[in-house]
């Protein structure tokens, strides 16, 4: 019993000792905490601010509030207590600061580069150890390296990218330019995301063209997630946050984004190593422009950062560089909707810079000439700074110079919104006045009174990049559209401001826009007053002539205008000036001008929806790159490979035609188009479609409908706006058709991709290169661009050939003597061999057949117009006439081909016009079936070989007994669209030989 009591007594003693020890440690820790915090509390007590509660501080003031209410509470505190306000968030002291004098002591202190622990904790999963989150020596080294990548010469090469993506934005805005109210921010944010991904990472995410893409969705989601967690301080504990649904979504989002960035960095590193680690001199601007390097490329070439560090910095740049610029541009457009007089001044400046062309791309040299636009941007950033708060950890006691002292260990929270509305530095601060930022008005202003990009050592490293991008985007948009109104006025912005990652209105930037009626359009018409043409009415121009007309009547009316007004006339389609030329000398000066490579706007209006940014419509560096790559297809592939496919599929066509009874009247086109599609898919795509076995007319019908709708839309100016067109029955039908044909094209690409991967795995380098191979291996073309270019090539290469072939059979059916001459030549080559395939040598001997094909192309050129845009300067057309900058030029091939001075008795079908002796001395621009100048069809030789092969194989199997409708009848029923086609078909009688 005594032993038991002794044991119990010993246990109690130990528990008492442990309890006393813990209490002693707790009391000591408490005294130590009080001692170390004493000075902080003493100085905090002297700062103005709301009374805190024990432990919680002022946290309850923010309980349950959203991002809008959070910002409103902050601003009410500033209004109540002034430019210095203390806030206790739990046991952490935050000091709201907005006085420029105090800011200089904080932001200008070289020792204060750390951000708050809370902000760093929340931002770390997103930005890791990038410039936004790092500090100390890591931050200093990284900032120095990254600053060097924003060299002026690097920024110079980025402007073309700014312009390209701004042009895409302009096209997207067309859907909203009918006065409808819409939030402009989502559209602009996709444009700035495209820019930052292409310039920072060197990768195209095509956010504007595919806003439902995986990368785009995750980037936008990440911004939202960061703001939502910021407003929930109880989720600052990682393990607790990770258990929530929000935490799981964030983990999945960041896994994707960081994985994508790691893959891009790894690929760029491998490319750099395999290229011999060649470095670029930033002073060599020509080399920079040629290489088109991204910031990622420059960081890799620098070789001072590890792959992980490069990854972190690239992710940071992408995140920081997209939202801020998008927000700023949205504020500018919204404010210009309220202040129309300021918008007018912006346009006056743009008029001076761009003279008579409001459509050319912005260049690096243009940007310094936009001082007023820059003032507008700066004033918008003054009223609505994109970054709502700037945080600094105060590491040592700091006298603010205004009677207050910040204790060491507190956090400064700079409220730039309040700083920018300080009456002392900005009188009448709520007024929008860009003149505040004229050089004379900026003189003497406190350097910390305006801090939209931060200040001190942590000032935004890419501020010049941001301003240049904003100027380029706004210049491009404002030269196409006018901001008519900001719905709800400025109060709609101010009353719903939410302070998430950026400061923006929760209700959106709801504006109304309309197409810009420019003064320079009247100047253009004044410049072309010497060029005859029909009366142009406001808004619709000369399109009233085409109202109510069918497609064949539209074509006839345009031809009648040229007969009435001459070989150089002017037409106005909506607001776009078009100069139509039928004179070969003038065409040589215009279409033959090597500087004119841009497609005309009039050519893009209705076909952009169909052909996207493919080689048929794109321009500038993109066009040059893609054309160079695609041209290689017609040099690298062997002629023998082409001819084998030409003969094989032509034989199938001949078989199908031979099955048609000679009593049957049929339209040959429905048989021919599947053949030309089969040919182009095998020869250029390296795949097989087999549309002729059996004859599959479904795809052919869809192609026909596409061309039909393009033509119908062309003469309906009210359908030029995509927003309206897509809501019509025609627009909805076309959208479904495009899904079908693009899916078909993607299937062909996928088939080739499988075959290509097999070849690569076997390291067989001597294989024939096809379209996918060439574009994919270039490393300069995205998957989306491969799809678009494939569709462009398949459509252009099949439709035109099928049309010319069909016209040829009709001509031979009408002119039996010419068909007989063709056959005499064929039998002499093939020695009466009906099924003999065609060789390259055979083609060389088909002289008369080539004359027949050329005569068909003369009478019925598949592309009736050759369009160009006058970009850089006015072009002298001769005779006192000029084509002003910003106008479109259209060479009317049909008129040139039927000019009696060039082709006597032009309506007669006579292949001998193209005999060597008759062709000698003819004007080089008198015959333009494949275009002219730098945009001449890259597949013209291919097309001629294909047509001769098809005609040779088919005509040796069947005879065209007669044409139901002669060439004259067809000419009276031509359909004017993307290509010239017969509106009554190509009906013939045939019999087998």
Kind and range of the H or E run holding 687: none
Coil, strand or helix: which one is 86? strand
Strand pairing of 405-406 and 398-399?
A: antiparallel
Coil, strand or helix: which one is 700? helix
Nearest-angstrom CA–CA distance, 71 and 81: 15
Nearest-angstrom CA–CA distance, 516 and 452: 31
**What is the CA angle 523-528-534, rounded to 5?**
110
Q: The tokens 């609505």 sit on which residue?
A: 384
Q: The tokens 């939410």 sit on which residue?
A: 498
Q: Residues near 519 by Cβ (< 8 Å), separated by ≥ 6?
A: 351
- Long-range contacts: 696-699, Cβ < 8 Å, 24+? 697/670, 699/674, 699/741, 699/744
Coil, strand or helix: which one is 867? strand
Contact between residue 345 and residue 442 where contact means Cβ atoms under 8 Å apart: no
Nearest-angstrom CA–CA distance, 711 and 709: 5
- Long-range contacts: 875-882, Cβ < 8 Å, 24+? 875/589, 875/590, 875/593, 875/596, 876/589, 877/531, 877/568, 877/579, 877/581, 877/586, 877/589, 877/590, 878/585, 878/586, 878/589, 879/530, 879/568, 880/530, 881/528, 881/530, 881/531, 881/568, 882/527, 882/528
Q: The tokens 């002298």 sit on which residue?
A: 876
**Residue 460, annotated ligand binder?**
yes
For 516-650, strand residue ranges (E) read 568-573, 576-581
- The DSSP secondary-structure symbol of 534 reads P
Nearest to 160 by CA among 662, 753, 620: 620
Nearest-angstrom CA–CA distance, 320 and 154: 19
Coil, strand or helix: which one is 695? strand
Nearest-angstrom CA–CA distance, 12 and 162: 78
Contact between residue 984 and residue 969 where contact means Cβ atoms under 8 Å apart: yes
- The 3-state secondary structure of 138-178 reads HHHHHHHHHHHHCCHHHHHHHHHHHHHHHHHHHHHHHHHCC
Residue burial 67-86, b: 16+ Cβ < 10 Å; e: rest? bbebbbebbebbeebbbbbb
For 13-102, strand residue ranges (E) read 84-89, 92-97
Coil, strand or helix: which one is 346? helix
**What is the CA angle 829-830-836, rounded to 5?**
140
**What is the CA angle 948-950-955, rounded to 5?**
95
Cis amide linkage into residue 694, ω under 30° from 0: yes
- The DSSP secondary-structure symbol of 468 reads H
Nearest-angstrom CA–CA distance, 608 and 626: 17
Q: From the annotation, which residues make up the binding site for heme?
A: 460
Q: From the annotation, which residues make up the binding site?
A: 460
């Amino acid at each position: 019993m005594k032993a038991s009591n002794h044991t119990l007594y010993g246990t109690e003693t130990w528990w008492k000792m442990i309890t006393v020890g813990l209490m002693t440690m707790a009391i000591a820790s408490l005294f130590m905490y009080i001692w170390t915090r004493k000075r902080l509390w003493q100085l905090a007590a002297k700062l103005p601010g709301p009374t805190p509660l024990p432990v919680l501080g002022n946290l309850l003031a923010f309980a349950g509030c959203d991002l809008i209410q959070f910002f409103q509470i902050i601003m009410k505190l500033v209004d109540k207590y002034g430019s210095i306000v203390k806030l206790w968030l739990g046991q952490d002291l935050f000091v709201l600061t907005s006085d420029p004098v105090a800011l200089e002591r904080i932001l200008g202190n070289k020792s204060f580069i750390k951000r708050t622990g809370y902000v760093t904790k929340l931002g770390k999963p997103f930005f890791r150890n990038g410039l936004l989150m790092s500090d100390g020596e890591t931050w200093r080294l990284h900032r120095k390296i990254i600053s060097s990548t924003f060299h002026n010469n690097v920024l110079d090469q980025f402007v073309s990218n700014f312009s390209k993506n701004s042009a895409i934005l302009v096209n997207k805005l067309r859907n909203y330019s009918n006065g409808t109210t819409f939030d402009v921010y989502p559209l602009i944010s996709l444009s700035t995301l495209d820019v930052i991904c292409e310039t920072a990472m060197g990768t195209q995410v095509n956010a504007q063209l595919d806003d439902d893409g995986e990368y785009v969705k995750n980037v936008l989601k990440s911004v939202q997630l960061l703001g939502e967690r910021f407003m929930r301080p109880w989720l600052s504990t990682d393990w607790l946050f990770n258990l929530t649904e929000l935490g799981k979504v964030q983990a999945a989002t960041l896994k994707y984004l960081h994985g994508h960035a790691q893959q891009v960095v790894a690929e760029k590193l491998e490319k750099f190593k395999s290229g011999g680690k060649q470095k670029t001199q930033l002073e060599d601007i020509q080399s920079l422009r040629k290489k088109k390097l991204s910031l990622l490329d420059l960081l890799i070439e620098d070789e001072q950062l590890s792959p992980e560090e490069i990854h972190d910095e690239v992710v940071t740049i992408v995140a920081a560089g997209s939202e801020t610029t998008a927000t700023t541009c949205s504020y500018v457009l919204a404010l210009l909707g309220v202040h129309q007089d300021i918008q007018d001044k912006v346009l006056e400046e743009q008029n001076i810079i761009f003279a008579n062309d409001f459509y050319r791309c912005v260049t690096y040299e243009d940007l310094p000439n936009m001082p007023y636009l820059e003032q507008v941007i700066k004033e918008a950033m003054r009223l609505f700074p994109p970054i709502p708060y700037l945080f600094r950890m105060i590491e040592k006691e700091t006298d603010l110079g205004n009677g207050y002292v910040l204790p060491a260990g507190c956090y400064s929270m700079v409220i730039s919104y309040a700083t920018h509305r300080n009456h002392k530095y900005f009188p009448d601060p709520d007024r929008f006045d860009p003149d505040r930022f004229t050089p004379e008005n900026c003189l003497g202003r406190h350097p910390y009174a305006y801090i939209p990009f931060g200040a001190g050592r942590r000032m935004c490293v890419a501020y010049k990049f941001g301003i240049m991008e904003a100027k380029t985007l706004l210049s491009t948009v404002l030269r196409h559209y006018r901001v008519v109104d900001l719905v709800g006025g400025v109060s709609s912005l101010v009353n719903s401001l939410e302070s998430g990652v950026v400061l923006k209105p929760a209700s959106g930037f709801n504006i109304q826009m309309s197409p810009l009626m420019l003064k320079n359009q009247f100047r253009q018409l004044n410049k072309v007053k010497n060029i005859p043409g029909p009366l142009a009415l406001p808004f619709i121009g000369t399109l009233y002539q085409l109202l109510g007309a069918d497609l064949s009547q539209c074509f006839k009316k345009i031809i009648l205008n040229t007969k009435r007004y001459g070989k150089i006339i002017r037409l106005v389609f909506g607001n776009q000036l078009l100069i139509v030329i039928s004179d070969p000398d003038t065409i040589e000066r215009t279409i033959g001008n090597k500087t004119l490579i841009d497609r005309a706007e009039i050519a893009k209006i209705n076909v952009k929806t169909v052909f996207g940014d493919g080689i048929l419509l794109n321009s500038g560096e993109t066009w040059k790159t893609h054309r160079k790559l695609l041209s290689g297809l017609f040099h690298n592939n062997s002629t023998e490979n082409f001819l084998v496919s030409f003969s094989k599929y032509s034989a199938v066509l001949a078989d199908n035609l031979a099955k048609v009874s000679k009593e049957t009247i049929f339209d040959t086109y429905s048989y021919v188009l599947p053949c030309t599609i089969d040919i182009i898919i095998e020869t250029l795509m390296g795949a097989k479609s087999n549309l002729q076995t059996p004859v599959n007319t479904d795809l052919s019908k869809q192609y026909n409908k596409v061309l039909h709708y393009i033509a119908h839309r062309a003469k309906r100016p009210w359908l030029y706006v995509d927003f309206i067109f897509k809501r019509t029955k025609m627009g909805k039908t076309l959208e479904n058709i495009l899904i079908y044909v693009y899916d078909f094209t993607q299937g062909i690409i996928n088939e080739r991709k499988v075959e290509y991967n097999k070849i690569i795995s076997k390291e067989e380098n001597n294989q024939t290169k096809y379209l996918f191979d060439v574009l994919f291996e270039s490393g300069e073309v995205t998957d989306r661009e491969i799809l678009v270019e494939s569709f462009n090539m398949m459509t252009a290469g099949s439709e035109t050939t099928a049309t010319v072939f069909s016209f040829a059979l009709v001509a031979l059916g009408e002119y039996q003597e010419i068909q007989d001459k063709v056959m005499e030549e064929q039998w002499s080559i093939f020695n009466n061999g009906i099924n003999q395939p065609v060789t390259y040598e055979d083609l060389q001997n088909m002289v008369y057949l080539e004359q027949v094909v050329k005569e068909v192309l003369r009478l019925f050129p598949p592309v009736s117009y050759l369009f160009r845009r006058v970009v850089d300067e006015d072009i002298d057309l001769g005779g006192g006439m000029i084509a002003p900058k910003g106008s479109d030029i259209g060479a009317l091939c049909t008129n040139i081909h039927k000019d009696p001075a060039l082709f006597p008795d032009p309506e007669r079908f006579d292949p001998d016009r193209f005999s060597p002796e008759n062709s000698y001395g003819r004007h080089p621009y008198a015959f333009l079936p494949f275009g002219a100048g730098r945009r001449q069809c890259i597949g013209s030789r291919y097309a001629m070989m294909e047509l001769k092969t098809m005609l040779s194989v088919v005509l040796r199997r069947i005879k065209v007994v007669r044409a139901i409708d002669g060439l004259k009848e067809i000419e009276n029923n031509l359909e004017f669209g993307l290509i010239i086609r017969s509106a009554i078909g190509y009906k013939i009688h045939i019999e087998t030989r």
